[in-house]
Amino acid sequence: MNYWLVKSEPHKYSWEKFNEDKRTFWDGVRNYQARNNLRDMREGDLVLFYHSNEGKCVVGVAKVVRESYQDPTTPDPNWVVVDLSPVETLKKPVTLEQIKNESSLKDISLIRQGRLSVMPLKAAEFDKILEMGS
């Protein structure tokens, strides 16, 4: 079981919309490192959902329901998507500021590599953020 964090701008695709849809394919990744992370996702892996720009907080947990396949929005075979479904909404969103202030989370990619939109998390980091959000 692996853990991940994905970013979405809420006005582009929000957690609320995701919960209405119940399932979505995660498209729009056009960065090789993020793409490689998508390809490493396995069915059942858990994924934190982060709102960038507006909110700047982790708002919920999703899970991988279909492993990577050709991005249906482009014929370019370089790009893939995965299918995700919502699992639960955090009682309290965990803000970027809280994460920055938490010493055990200072090494996560969200902070160290701000522009990456799909990143792996260690189990301890994932658990810590869930704990902060409950």
Could you list the residues that contact DNA (CB under 7 A)? 7, 9, 30-33, 52-53, 56, 96-97, 112-117
CB-CB contact of 58 with 90 (8 Å): yes
Distance of closest approach, residue 53 Cβ to DNA, in angstroms: 5
Give me the sheet containing 80-95, strands edge to edge. 24-25, 80-95, 57-70, 46-51, 3-8, 118-121
Tell which residue, 108, 103, 109, has the closest CA to residue 125. Answer: 108
Of 72 and 114, nearer to DNA (C-beta) is: 114
Token couple for 112? 């160290």
Distance of closest approach, residue 31 Cβ to DNA, in angstroms: 5
Of 32 and 44, nearer to DNA (C-beta) is: 32
Of 45 and 52, nearer to DNA (C-beta) is: 52
Distance of closest approach, residue 125 Cβ to DNA, in angstroms: 16
